Chains A and B, each alone.
Chain A
Amino acid sequence: EVQLVESGGGLVQPGGSLRLSCAASGFTFSSYDMHWVRQPTGKGLEWVSGIGSAGDTYYAGSVKGRFTISRENAKNSLYLQMNSLRAGDTAVYYCARGSEGFDPWGQGTLVTVSS
């Protein structure tokens, strides 16, 4: 069974940093693009960042220069390093496999940026 499990969310002060992780299982992780998508409570979805199977990276304009996506194929893991966090970054962060769309998604991890 294909499964994605996020971790690392929590409460952080504005200007702080947080690193999210996504553990993948049930498929050949190294062969797929992977993505982070976020959703503020009660609001819509926003694509944050993606990384190709070859390691090429892509970012939404709202996080470029502050967030860094990476992957460790040997550990079947995806990461999102988030720096200079702002209140507007508060959201549930989902990791998703890039396969005929974003499929599947993890259960999400909540990031709250507040003093």
Chain B
Amino acid sequence: QSVLTQPPSASGTPGQRVTISCSGSSSNIGSKNVYWYQQFPGTAPKVLIYRNDQRPSGVPDRFSGSKSGTSASLAISGLRSEDEADYYCAAWDDSLSGHVFGGGTKLTVL
């Protein structure tokens, strides 16, 4: 059971906008920055969003992050087949004194 809660799966058709939610608590998302990672099968994860809504250089602006209270969301607009991957949210947890991840969301592009 992950500390951060994500839907196990999400899907969309090319061109659509898809959002992936990440629910936490006051000890993590409610008071700390949220990070999003993208992972393709057989490869290491890559940071997609840092500090809630910031994109590293090289990440398309189709990807955006937001946070409200104890929840965060990753939005992908103009969905493309190459976006099919696993997505994880993460944050520091003050109660656990450690980093925590969501269980991951497998995105399928139909």
Contacts and interface: CB of A to CB of B under 8 A. Distances in A.
Contacts of A105: 44-46
Given A104-B46, A105-B45, A59 B98 contact: yes
A71 interface: no
Contacts of A100: 47, 50-51, 54, 56
Interface of B: 2, 35, 37, 39, 44-47, 50-51, 54, 56, 88, 90, 96-104
Secondary structure call for the B interface:
strand
Interface in A62-111: 94, 100-108
Nearest to B48: A101
12 contacts: A44-B103, A45-B88, A58-B97, A59-B98, A61-B96, A100-B50, A100-B56, A101-B37, A102-B35, A102-B37, A103-B47, A104-B44
Nearest to B34: A101
B104 A58 contact: no
Contacts, number: 58
Interface residues of A, number: 20
Contacts of A11: none
Interface of A: 35, 44-47, 50, 58-61, 94, 100-108
Contacts of B103: 44
Nearest to B86: A44
Given A44-B101, A47-B100, A100-B54, 19 more contacts: A45-B37, A45-B39, A45-B104, A47-B98, A47-B99, A50-B98, A50-B99, A58-B98, A94-B45, A101-B47, A101-B50, A101-B90, A102-B35, A102-B45, A102-B90, A103-B56, A104-B44, A104-B46, A107-B44
Contacts of B102: 44
A100 B35 CA distance: 8
Contacts of A108: 44
Contact of A60 (B37, B39, B54, B98): B98
A50 B98 CA distance: 8
Nearest to A98: B99
